Structure 1
Amino acid sequence: MFNKMIVAIDGSEQSLRAAENAIVLAEKSDAHVYVVYVIDRSISKTEVMQTWDFLGITEKKRKMFKRVEKAAENGRISYEVKFIRGEPAVAIINFAEEMDADLIVIGSRGLSQFQQLVLGSVSHKVVKKATCPVLIVK
Structure 2
Amino acid sequence: MAGIIIVGVDGSETAMKAARTAAKLAASMGAELRVVTAHESDTTEVVEIGNDKWFIHESEKAEKVARDVATELGAEGLRTSFTAVLGKPQDALVAEAERVNARLIVVGNVGMQGLGRVLGSVASSVTHKASCDVYIAKTA
How high is the TM-score relative to the length of structure 1? Answer: 0.79
* Other-structure match for 2:95: 94
2:56 is paired with a residue whose SS is coil
Indicate how the Cα distance of structure 1 residues 63 and 56 shifts in structure 2: closer, same or farther if over 3 A, else same.
closer
Q: Contact between 2:4 and 2:32, CA under 8 Å: does it hold in 1?
A: yes
Q: How well do the aligned residues superpose, as a CA RMSD in angstroms?
A: 2.4
Q: Structure 2 matches for 1:19-58, cutoff 5 A?
A: 19-41=19-41, 45=43, 48-49=44-45, 52-54=55-57, 55=59, 57=61
* Other-structure match for 2:130: 130
- Alpha-carbon distance in 1 for matches of 2:89, 2:46: 21
Indicate how the Cα distance of structure 1 residues 99 and 10 shifts in structure 2: closer, same or farther if over 3 A, else same.
same
Q: Contact between 2:70 and 2:81, CA under 8 Å: does it hold in 1?
A: no
How much has 1:86 moved relative to structure 2? Answer: 1.2
How much has 1:7 moved relative to structure 2? Answer: 0.8
2:74 maps to 1:78: no
Question: Which has the larger helix fraction?
Answer: 1
2:45 is paired with a residue whose SS is helix
Structure 1's unaligned 5+ residue stretches are none
Per chain length, whose mean CA-contact separation is higher, i.e. which structure has more relative contact order (CA < 8 Å, sep 6+)? 1
Structure possessing the higher radius of gyration over alpha carbons? 2
Aligned residues: 130
2:102 is paired with a residue whose SS is coil
The superposition leaves residues 47-90 of structure 1 with CA deviations (integer Å, 9 ceiling, x where unpaired) of: x33764112518xx84774354222222x111111111112211
- Alpha-carbon distance in 1 for matches of 2:46, 2:17: 29
- Alpha-carbon distance in 2 for matches of 1:64, 1:128: 24
- Alpha-carbon distance in 1 for matches of 2:134, 2:65: 26
Structure 2's unaligned 5+ residue stretches are 48-54
Aligned-residue sequence identity (percent) comes to 27
